[in-house]
Amino acid sequence: MVVVDASALAAVIFTEPEGPIVLEWLREQPQLAAPAILPFELANTARTKIRKRPADARALRANLADGLERRIHFRPVDFSAVLDLALTSDLSAYDASYLWLARSLGVPLITLDKKLAAAAQKL
């Protein structure tokens, strides 16, 4: 099992340049976990992409729908612990929720977010 964050999964579902690398990492992991915020972050990514490329709206919506059909185990987080981690690591509470979950499950975190990856390395 691994925890996957929105940056990594978005790269796959929206066919970003880093997508094939992330896809290779994910193929090695039969189970994906994430906090329940993941679908909201992916929807927001789709929104941003649609605003930049309105002609691609239909394809981007389809990519989002396909991505949300992936088998991901949404896990609860301890919001107080997430807040503490966000404060000590200078992360947003959103990013800290992925890191907290990975640490609480004792599994790797798959992310393309450099700040989040650096915080994960420190811990």
Structure confidence by residue, pLDDT tens digits, 33-52: 999 999 999 999 999 999 99
Structurally, how many domains does the chain consist of? 1
CATH number at residue 40: 3.40.50.1010
If DSSP codes are grouped into helix, strand and coil, which group holds residue 2? strand
pTM: 0.93
Amino acid at 85: L
Q: Which residues pair with 73 in a beta bridge?
A: 33
Give the pLDDT score at 31. 93
CA distances from 119 to 36, 95, 96, 114 (A): 21, 10, 9, 9
Residue 69 to residues 29, 41, 50: CA-CA distances in angstroms?
Answer: 17, 15, 20
> Please, are residues 3 and 42 in contact by the beta-carbon 8 Å criterion?
no
> Could you report the per-residue pLDDT of 64-93, keeping only the tens digit for each?
999 999 999 999 999 999 999 999 999 999
State which residues form the domain around 35.
2-122
